[in-house]
Amino acid sequence: MTDIRVLVVDDQELVRSGFCVILEAVPGISVAGEAADGAAAVAAAAALDPDVVLMDIRMPVMDGLEATRALIARDATRPRIVILTTFDLDEYVYEALRAGASGFLLKDSPRADLIAAVRAAAAGDALLSPSVTRRVIETFSRRPAATMPAPSRLESLTAREHDVLLLIARGQSNAEIAHSLFVSEATVKTHVGNVLAKLSLRDRVQAVILAYETGLVQPGQG
């Protein structure tokens, strides 16, 4: 099996080095390169073609948000981008998720969470399990969006797909959705794929954001 290749982007050399040391020690993961700002990250990603980018959000020259937008504009499928931040309620993080990042990780997270985040992102899974991600989405969905998606966008979904989107937005995993709807995980996976395809969404993070912004789910609902 080919290693997951990671590009580590942070303007603090000690932070970058720390992440690199952790990742290089993990079987199946290798560090493809490092970058100290967003502009260097965009250039490095083009040259190195990593599977995952660990992207600091607040950097000089070009911040992580602008770099994320540039990478997603170039290729919406790779690399997967995991935002690194010190602040768990950071508007930049929310905007990066809207732009197409697969999730985010607090810089003081345990090393096991870092490794799990890289593996999940590489597998195409959105990082929705940490409760903090949902708090970010809920917090910033309270403010009006510049272009609020019309609820009619959801009309292409079947009743079951609508139910699946609702449960995704509540943070449930495929296994939990299967249990809630009394169907198999394989069936849930098919429904999730249909939801993402019909709504032209990159992953589950964008599905959650859409659900909040169309009013399907209200902030604070469990």
pLDDT of 165-183, one tens digit each?
988 887 777 888 899 999 9
Q: Tell me what the mean pLDDT of segment 195-205 comes to.
A: 84
Query: Is 59 found in the same domain as 121?
Result: yes
Residue 106 to residue 96: CA distance in whole angstroms: 14
Length of the chain, please? Answer: 222
- Identify the burial level of 102 via C-beta atoms within 10 angstroms of its C-beta, where 0-12 means exposed, 13-18 middle and 19 or more buried: buried
Task: Write out pLDDT tens, residues 31-64.
Answer: 999 999 999 999 999 999 999 999 998 898 899 9
* Predicted TM-score (pTM) of this structure: 0.73
Per-residue pLDDT of 11-27, as tens digits, reads 999 999 999 999 999 99
Q: Could you report the per-residue pLDDT of 107-164, keeping only the tens digit for each?
A: 888 888 889 889 888 887 665 544 555 666 666 556 555 455 556 678 889 999 999 9
Residue 121 lies in a domain: yes
> If you search the block for the tokens 């989405």, which residue do you land on?
137
pLDDT of residue 130: 47
Co-location of 111 and 46 in the same domain = yes
Residues 20 and 109 in one domain: yes
> What domain range is 108 assigned to?
4-141
End-to-end, the C-alpha distance of the chain in Å comes to 39
Backbone conformation region of residue 50, classed left if phi is above 0, alpha if psi is from -120 to 50, else beta: beta
